[in-house]
């Protein structure tokens, strides 16, 4: 392209305002910066002020935000305009205010943190800042709102389709029968839908997915593979502190000795995750006697397997109800762990239990004994008997004492239904 194709040199130079705006050196045929322009290529530049064009204002300095605020796309647009011999400079787009950086910089900081990985404490602090208890209480009240008759079928059908609910197992299959979401979540099953296995000593207390199971080692329990939590933090002291004639156990061995009551026995655990589409009631996993209830107010973080891999001791942070007692081989406990939108945990024989209260003290717990002067044995539960319920999905954790030859009939990750065998001697 010849020099004539570039138009008037004065007009070309006039269109090159701003700092470090590239121009085309007509004689050398190369790109150069503003301060590298050959004066012979632009005779309109005066010797008194080489940066001024006669009759024009000083444009050697930018009349707006500094150059580092311009995006590369805008700089490219200016260069294309210069090469096309525009008679006027390219339009200056309105720059973003600096206040936008207060919003963009924190978001940009999340990307490198996601690559490096956050410390577990930071993860818990970040997630616990979400008002999950408030959201769960709001969700609970929403569940109690009675739906119009014409709206029940489309709402419940959407839930059934989303979570794969099998309504053929429900005692009442007619969707119009359930007045609100709470009744639909707590629907009963047909008696023949969940036969109870009579050959094995321990059965599954609920529908769900097996997250982990096995023998308790070093007083640590796996919530998922590779992520553990402290047994003492999860269950709390073995005996209420006011009833202890000696200080509580401070080591793993002494705490384990309080749970294992018979020589030659071991502690075992099993974690069952209930998805939103599962049957939401839980039953007695064996024949045993419930003597004590301990309620831990706490957070209501999600307990799905993905979150359980992310946060260590997740079950110790969440609200939970621990039922402890004895079975034929010694100590036995069942713990219902709350989760987001599952703030209400109900135990059928415990009317004094109130979960997801608006206020609670961090790290506190409430004890209640079922052993009284009128009932010195506690609450007797039979295998398969209704025990409690909660909404949406949550987790059941079994921790019990058994002889060393106890064997689980499970595989990690398998789906299981209430009444099926967990293990036996």
Which of 352, 290, 272 lies closest to 327 in space, CA to CA?
290
Q: Which residues contact 270 (CB under 8 A, 6 or more apart)?
A: 210, 212, 213, 397, 398, 408, 410, 422, 423
| Burial track 39-69 (b if 16+ CB lie within 10 A, e otherwise) | eebbebbeeeeeeebeeeeebeebeeeeeee
How many Å apart are CA 53 and CA 29, to the nearest integer?
A: 23
Q: Which residues contact 241 (CB under 8 A, 6 or more apart)?
A: 248
How many Å apart are CA 233 and CA 321, to the nearest integer?
A: 13
The DSSP code for 188 is P
Partner residues linked to 267 by β-bridges: 401
How many Å apart are CA 370 and CA 290, to the nearest integer?
A: 7
Active centre residues (catalytic): 207, 283, 394
């Amino acid at each position: 392209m010849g020099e004539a194709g570039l138009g008037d040199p004065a007009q070309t130079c006039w269109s090159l305002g701003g700092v470090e705006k590239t121009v085309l050196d007509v004689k050398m045929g190369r790109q150069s910066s503003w301060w590298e322009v050959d004066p012979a290529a632009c005779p309109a530049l005066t010797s008194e002020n080489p940066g001024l064009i006669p009759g024009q204002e000083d444009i050697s300095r930018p009349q707006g935000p500094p150059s580092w605020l311009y995006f590369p796309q805008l700089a490219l647009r200016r260069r294309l305009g210069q090469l096309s011999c525009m008679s006027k400079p390219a339009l200056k787009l309105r720059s973003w205010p600096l206040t936008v950086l207060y919003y963009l910089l924190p978001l940009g900081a999340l990307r490198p943190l996601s690559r490096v990985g956050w410390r577990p404490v930071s993860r818990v602090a970040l997630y616990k800042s979400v008002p999950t208890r408030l959201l769960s209480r709001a969700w609970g009240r929403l569940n109690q709102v009675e739906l119009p008759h014409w709206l029940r079928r489309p709402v419940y059908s959407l839930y059934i389709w989303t979570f794969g609910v099998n309504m053929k197992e429900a005692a009442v299959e007619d969707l119009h029968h359930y007045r609100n979401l709470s009744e639909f979540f707590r629907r009963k099953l047909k008696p023949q839908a969940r036969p109870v296995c009579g050959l094995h000593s321990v059965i599954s207390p609920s529908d769900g997915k097996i997250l982990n199971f096995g023998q308790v080692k070093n007083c640590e329990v796996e919530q998922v593979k590779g992520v553990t939590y402290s047994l003492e933090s999860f269950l709390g002291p073995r005996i209420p502190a006011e009833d202890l004639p000696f200080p509580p156990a401070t080591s793993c061995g002494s705490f384990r000795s309080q749970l294992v009551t018979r020589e030659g026995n071991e502690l075992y655990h099993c974690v069952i995750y209930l998805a939103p589409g599962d049957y939401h009631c839980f039953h007695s996993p064996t024949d045993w006697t419930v003597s004590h209830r301990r309620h831990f107010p706490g957070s209501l973080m999600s307990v799905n397997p993905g979150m359980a891999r992310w946060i260590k001791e997740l079950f110790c942070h969440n609200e939970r109800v621990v039922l402890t007692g004895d079975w034929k081989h010694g100590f036995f406990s069942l713990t219902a762990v709350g989760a987001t939108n599952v703030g209400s945990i109900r135990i059928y024989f415990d009317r004094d239990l109130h979960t997801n209260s608006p206020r609670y003290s961090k790290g506190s717990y409430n004890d209640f004994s079922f052993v009284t002067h009128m009932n010195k044995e506690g609450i007797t539960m039979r295998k398969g008997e209704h025990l409690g319920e909660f909404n949406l999905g949550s987790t059941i954790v079994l921790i019990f004492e058994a002889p060393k030859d106890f064997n689980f009939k499970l595989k990690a990750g398998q789906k299981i239904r209430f009444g099926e065998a967990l293990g036996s001697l």
